[in-house]
Structure 1
Amino acid sequence: MSKHPLSATGRKLTLVVLGLAALITTMLCAFALPSLHSGPHRVPIGVAGPEEATKTLRQSTDGDAWDIRSYPTTEALQAAVKDRDVSGGLAVTGHQVDIYTATAGGPSATGALTALGHSVATQQSTRATVHDLVPFTENDPRGAGVTAALLPMIFGGIFPALILSSAFPGHRGLRTRVAGALLFSVVAGAAIAAVLQFATHSVDGNYWLTAAGLVLGTAALSTTLLGLQALLGMAGFALGGALMMLLGNPLSGLATGPHWLPTGWATLGQLLPPGASGSLLRANAFFDGSGAGLPALTLAVWAGIGITLALLADRRGRRPATARSEAATA
C-alpha cells in the first residue's frame, strides 16, 4: 500500500526536475545562441548614386548581411531612412561617400553600416562623411534609458498578475483583476513615458504618442499573464512569465535593433510582446510613429488573447456557482 504514494511522489519529482532542466536549457539557448550568431542579417539599406558605383557596391557586399535597395536621389534615400523603410544608406558620388544612419533605430546596424561606408570610400580613394538623421537625444546619446525601459515593462506585466490575484482572489475577483490590470497599464505607461521624456531625457518625441505605445505594451503583457493565470492557475502564470522573460527579453532586439539577431530569432522576438513593445517605443519616440503599425497590431492581438483567456476562465467559473445556486433552490 505504501508504494503507491511513494511512486506518485517519485513521478511528480521527476516531472518537476525535467521541467526545470528544460527551462534552464531553453533559457541558455535563448540567451546564448542569438548572441553567438549576432551580426547584420539582411539589414535593409539604401544606395543612391551612379549606376556603376551602386552596381560595384552590390557586388562587393555580403548578400546575407545587407538587403540593398536603390533610390534615384539622395533626397529619396534620406526620406526612406526617416520613414524606416531602410535602416540607413550610402550615397556614392565621384568625390565622396555620404553615410546616412538612424542610430535610434538600431545602434549596432548603424555601426556596421558606418564601417561599410568607410570601406567603400577607401576602395574608391575618397572620403566618407556620416550623417545621423535620427540620433538618440543629446542627454542620452547611447539610448541607455530606452534599453533600460524593457525590464520595467516586463515586470509591469508580471507584478499586476501576482498582486491583483492576491488582493482579489477567486472567480469573484476575476473581473476586478482584469479591470485593475488595464487601469495599471494606463498609469504605468504614462509614468514610464514621463520618466523617459522628462527625467532622463532619453526621448524627445510626442509624449502622448510615446505614452500610448507604452500603455499598449504594458496592457499586452499584463492581460496575457493574467489570463493565463486565471485559466491555468500558477502553471499558466509560470508559462507566461517564462515566455516573456526568458524568450521575449533576449530576443526583443531593443538594445541592438532586430536586424542584429539571426532571422528566425528576430522574427520570433518581434512577435512576442517585449520585442513588439520595444519596436513600438522606437517608432513613436524617434520616428513620429513611422513603422508603428505592425508592432501595435501585434500587441493588440496579445491583449485580445489575454482578455479572451480571462473571459473563458470567467465562464468556466460561473458553472459551479450556477450549479450550487440551483441545488440550493431545489
Structure 2
Amino acid sequence: MGILSGMTGFARVTGEESWGSWAWEAKSVNGRSLDVRVNYPPGCEALERDVKAMAGERFNRGSLQVSLRVDMAAGAGGVTIDHALLGALAEAARKAAGFEPTPEAIATLMTFKGVVETSGATLRDLAANEAAMAALSAGARLALDQLGEGRRAEGASLMGLLSGHLDQIEALAGEAARLAATQPGLIKAKLQKQLEELDQEGRVDAERFAAEAALSAARADVREELDRLGAHVKSGRDLLNAGSPAGRKLDFLAQELNREANTLCSKSASLDLTNAGLSLKGVIDQFKEQSANVE
C-alpha cells in the first residue's frame, strides 16, 4: 500500500556554526505542477540549485517557498579596510588643512562608508567556505524532509476523507439502483394515464402501447451509468491505496463520476431517483474538492 501525500506543509530548521547561525524555512501550498522558489543571501546561489534538485527528488506537485537566513557571528570574518579609499580621504584632508592629518582625524575618516567592511564582505564570501556550504545544504535537506512529513500527515487525513466520500458514493449508487428498478413500472403507468386522457376512443392498440412503453423504459435505463459508477469507485480506492502521485488522476475520476451522475439525473423518471442523483453530485463535488489537495 502506497502513501498518500498532500501539498500543504511547513518546516523550520535552525543551526549554529562557528561563523554564525542559520535558519531554513520551507512552506508548501497546492499547485498544478512543482514550482520551487528559493530566497538566499548574496553569494549563496549554489544553494538554489541544491534546493531545487532536492525538492524534485521528494515532491511531484506543489508551490514551494524555501528561504534561508544567515546571521554572521560578531568578528567571524575580521575587518577589511579599503586603504586606497582611506588614503584618498587623508590626502584630501591634508590639502584642505595644510598639514598632515592627526591620528584622531584618521580615526574619523575610517568611519566613512566603504572604508571599513565587516560582516557584509564575510557573508558574500561564505560561498567559498566548503564546510559552511555543506552545513547549509544539509540544513536544507532536513527542512525538506520535515516538509515532506507534514505533507504526508495531510495525506493521511485526506485518505480518510476521500475514502469516506467513495463509501457514500457507493451507498448512494446502490440506493439509485433500487429506485431505478421501479422505473419501467412508473413509465408504463405514466404512459397509461396519458393514453387514457388523450385516446378516450381506444384507437391505440395494446401492442403499439407496449412497444412505446418498452422504448421509453429503454431510454430511461440507467444500468450502464450505475455500473460505471461502481467501476469508478473501485478505481478511486485503487488510486488511494497506491499512494501519491494520484491527485491529477483523482481529479479526472471526479469528472467521470460527475458525468455519470448527470446522466442518471437526466434519465430519471421519478423524483426519488432524481434526488438520489443530486445527492450523488453533492458528494462527488466534495470528493473533487478534496482530491485537489492530493499530490
Give the TM-score normalised by structure 2: 0.34
Q: Identify which of structures 1 and 2 has the higher relative contact order when contacts are C-alpha pairs closer than 8 Å and 6+ apart.
A: 2
Give the TM-score normalised by structure 1: 0.31
Bigger Cα Rg:
2
| Structure in which a larger fraction of residues adopt helix | 1
